[in-house]
Structures are given as structure tokens and as C-alpha cells.
Amino acid sequence: MAEAKTEQSYEQARDELTEVVRKLEAGGLTLEESLNLWERGEKLAAVCEEWLEGARARLTAAMNAEAADTGDASDAAAPF
């Protein structure tokens, strides 16, 4: 999935996913159109999740580094 992440920013993927959901909720699509949109939405959701996982990892690393600098290991636990 890494190639999908480099193609779109989190914001781009999120905005496109919002549009996909809007179209699906509006209805009036053929089964084939609905399936294609659903599959696209699944891919976009995975891109968003990958970005969020990366952000969580960076935040946890920063918190661990700060805890190591201050000597307070109790702050090192991830908040999520």
C-alpha cells in the first residue's frame, strides 16, 4: 500500500473518500458503479489508515524521546 500513500496526501484521500461516501449514500447508481465506488472507498480508507498509523508511530517515538530526555519513563506510554 506504500505506493498509494505516496500518490495522495492524507487530506486528498480523506476528501475523495468523503465524496465516494456521498455518492453511495445518494443512490441511483448501478450495481457495478456502486461496487466500483465501494472498492475505491476501501482503498482510500486504507490510505488514510496508513497515514494515521504513521502519525501515531511518530508521536509515540517523540513522546518516548522526550521521556528519555527527562528521565520520566511513565510518560512514554502511547496515548492511544
For residue range 46-67, list pLDDT tens digits in order: 999 999 999 999 999 999 988 8
Can you give the residue ranges of every domain in the chain? Answer: 2-71
What per-residue confidence (pLDDT) applies to 66?
84
CA-to-CA distance for 8 and 4, rounded, in angstroms?
7
The answer to whether 75 touches 63, Cβ cutoff 8 Å, is: yes
CA-to-CA distance for 26 and 35, rounded, in angstroms?
14
What per-residue confidence (pLDDT) applies to 46?
97
4 pLDDT more than 60: no
Is the CATH number of domain 2-71 1.10.10?
Answer: no
Asked whether the whole model's pTM tops 0.85, one would answer no
